[in-house]
Amino acid sequence: MKWQRITFLSLLLLITLMSASCGAAPQAEEADTGGLMIDLSTKPDPPVAGEVELTITIKDATQQAVEGAEVNLLVSHSSMATMLMQNAAVSTGNGQYSASFDFSQDSQGDWRVTVEVRNVQPETIRKNFVITIP
């Protein structure tokens, strides 16, 4: 009976995780952003294997675009610790910062994107997102 319950719960968890990762939009993890609103979008949307542009939009508490930030992106595969990428995002104006990453054909799955924002507040602000490469 105990094994049946464990098997059932394991299958339920697996089904939930699989359905949540099917072409989903970037999902943000809760973080203290010091009053900043930090969003992530991808191009193409949803992301696919190959070249993907990640765009970060930063606004302050009054919805004003934040300019002059130093934005760094750290990208790591959730199940392959050795698959790490890092890139500095370039300002494209209006509080947006972009960087491109090459997600190769064998890099399907969930990727954690850590956005680091400097030179806006006294401390570095970090916010995590998860994108899925089908």
Token digits of residue 49 = 């294997």
The percent of residues above 70 in pLDDT, for the chain, comes to 75
Domain assignment present for residue 3? The answer is no
Place of tokens 């992106």: 73
Q: Which of 19-23, 59-63, 69-73 has the lowest mean pLDDT?
A: 19-23
Residue 69 in domain: yes
Any domain includes 45: yes
Position 1 pLDDT exceeds 70: no
DSSP state of 120: S
Mean pLDDT of 95-120: 92
The two beta strands, 70-77 and 50-59, are unpaired
For the cut 80, the answer to whether the pLDDT of residue 24 exceeds it is: no
Q: The CATH number of the domain where 72 resides is what?
A: 2.60.40.1930
pLDDT at 10: 47
For residue 6, what pLDDT is reported? 47
10 within domain boundaries:
no
- Residue at 8 is within a domain: no
What is the model's pTM? 0.75
Domain that holds residue 85: 25-133
CA dist., res. 113 & res. 126, Å (int) = 10
Predicted pLDDT at 45: 93
Residues in the chain: 134
Q: Is the pLDDT at 110 greater than 50, yes or no? A: yes
Is 5 contained in some domain?
A: no
Domain count, the chain: 1
Residue 1 covered by a domain: no
Q: Is residue 77 part of a domain?
A: yes
